[in-house]
């Protein structure tokens, strides 16, 4: 029987779940929960993370029981329901694709316990079996079984990830080695550029992609990124051999909803503009906007100003692969090889 589960996503946020094709939890447990019950998880977790060690016995038991559910009770084919804290009336619906795994280097920062998910789309809270009464943010509750029944049919997202079958095919077709990545800087709170090579260490014909802000800054995150895979598929269909990513804002934040909390002077690091200007000089290929819908609560005026600044720094107009219903460039995670370029309005 298919079960439907609620997984809280306030941190790291639904944007991270969508981009990585995962659902992930933290609980401050830094060891695998595979095959363990709650007592086994508590025994394994001790001494591995200071946040776990300072929790009260009751909180540790609560966390361990929820992690046991996540690792051992959720099954492939079960349904995941989550929502963004800034848009609580819209539920994101996904289907679990495989078994639990622990990532020593977490794709989604600080969330090493993961399940792969095929994100199907959204439903309104009122469309859920109990009108969404059981789906609510409760402090201390991250994993909860909702019903032993599938969720309603979801509406496809504006900028949904490509289907899992397409992604699996694109990862393996004719490839002897994974894409290579290089990024600057390698540490800190900002990232100015990410370079993805489709055919080895060198690139001769790069595609330039402008995203909203960096969500991760490590190799495992890049290699699991639905965005990076979709951008490569689109680029290879047009004989590009690499992609160079810059961002409107260089501040690293896995949950783009939280960008509204970042002080204006911290949204971009001191070298962000110089790097964008440099990429504009170096690259001869097309420059494509791919940042998707504006996060809830982020000032539209600030966004409009920054888009104009980036266009000036790149010294060329931005293109896109279509617009969302809200009028923003479709997110890179949803690009298809058949999508056609058009000017960004």
Read off the pLDDT of residues 257-309 as tens digits, 9 standing for 90 and up: 889 999 999 999 999 999 999 999 998 889 999 999 998 889 999 999 999 99
What domains, with CATH codes, occur in the chain?
A: 4-147 (3.10.590), 164-343 (no CATH)
Does the structure show a pLDDT above 60 at 175?
A: no
For residue 321, the tally of other CB atoms under 10 A from its CB is 23
Residue 242: band (very low, low, confident or very high) from pLDDT cuts 50, 70, 90:
very high
Share of the chain above pLDDT 90, in %: 66
Query: Which of 172-176, 217-221, 232-236 is most confident?
Result: 232-236
9 CB contacts (<8 Å, ≥6 apart)?
A: 17, 23, 82, 83, 84, 85, 92
Residue 162: band (very low, low, confident or very high) from pLDDT cuts 50, 70, 90:
low
CA distance 317 to 207: 14
Q: What is the pLDDT of residues 10-55, one digit of tens each?
A: 888 888 898 888 999 999 999 999 999 999 999 999 999 999 999 9
CA distance 78 to 305: 43
SS3 readout for the chain = CCCEEEECCCCCCHHHHHHHCEEEECCCCCCCCCCCCHHHHHHHHCCCCHHHHCCCHHHHHHHHHHHHHHHHHCCCCCEEEEEECCEEEEEEEEEECCCCEECCCCCCCCCCEEEEEEEEEEEEHHHCCCCCCCCCCCCCCCEEEEECCCCCCCECCCCCCCCHHHHHHHHHCCCCCCCEEEEECCCCCECCEEEEECCCCCCCCEEEEEECCCCCCCHHHHHHCHHHHHHHHHHHCCCCCEEEEEECCCECCCCHHHHHHCCHHHCCCCCHHHHHHHHHHHCCCCEEECCCCCCCCCCHHHHHHHHHHHHHHHCCCCEECCECCCCCECCHHHCCCCCCCEECC
Give, to the nearest 10 degrees, the angle between helix 164-172 and helix 226-236.
Answer: 60
Is 21:225 a contact under the CB 8 Å cutoff? no
pLDDT of residue 172: 43
pLDDT of residue 177: 65
Residue 228, sorted as left (phi over 0), alpha (psi -120 to 50) or beta, turns out to be alpha
pLDDT of residue 165: 43
- To the nearest 10°, report the CA torsion of 167, 172, 175, 177: 90
Does the structure show a pLDDT above 80 at 166?
A: no
Average pLDDT, the chain: 90
- To the nearest 10°, report the CA torsion of 131, 297, 143, 40: -170
């Amino acid at each position: 029987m298919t079960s439907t589960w609620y997984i809280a996503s306030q941190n790291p946020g639904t944007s991270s779940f969508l981009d990585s094709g995962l659902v992930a939890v933290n609980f401050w447990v830094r060891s695998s929960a595979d095959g363990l019950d709650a007592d086994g998880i508590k025994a394994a977790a001790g001494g591995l993370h200071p946040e776990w060690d300072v929790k009260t016995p009751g909180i540790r038991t609560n966390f361990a029981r929820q992690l046991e559910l996540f690792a051992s009770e959720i099954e492939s084919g079960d349904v995941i329901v989550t929502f963004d804290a800034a848009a609580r009336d819209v539920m994101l619906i996904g289907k679990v694709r495989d078994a639990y795994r622990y990532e020593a280097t977490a794709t989604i920062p600080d969330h090493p316990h993961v399940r792969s998910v095929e994100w199907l789309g959204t439903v309104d809270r009122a469309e859920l079996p109990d009108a969404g009464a059981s789906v609510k943010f409760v402090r201390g509750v991250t994993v909860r079984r909702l019903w032993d029944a599938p969720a309603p049919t979801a509406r496809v997202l504006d900028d949904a990830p490509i289907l899992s079958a397409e992604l699996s095919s694109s990862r393996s077709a004719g490839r002897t080695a994974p894409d290579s990545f290089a990024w600057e800087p390698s540490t800190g709170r900002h990232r100015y550029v990410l370079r993805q090579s489709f055919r080895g260490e060198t690139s001769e014909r790069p595609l330039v992609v402008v995203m909203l802000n960096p969500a991760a800054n490590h190799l495992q995150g890049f290699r699991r990124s639905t965005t990076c895979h979709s951008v490569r598929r689109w680029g290879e269909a047009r004989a590009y051999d690499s992609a160079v990513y810059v961002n409107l804002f260089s501040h690293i934040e896995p949950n783009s909803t939280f960008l509204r909390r970042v002080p204006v002077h911290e949204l971009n690091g001191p070298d962000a503009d110089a790097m964008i200007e440099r990429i504009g000089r170096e690259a001869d290929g097309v420059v494509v906007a791919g940042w998707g819908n504006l996060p809830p609560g982020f000032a539209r005026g600030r966004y409009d100003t920054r888009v104009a600044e980036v266009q000036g720094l790149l010294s060329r107009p931005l293109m896109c692969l279509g617009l969302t219903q809200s009028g923003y460039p479709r997110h890179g995670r949803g690009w298809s090889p058949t999508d056609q370029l058009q000017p960004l309005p």
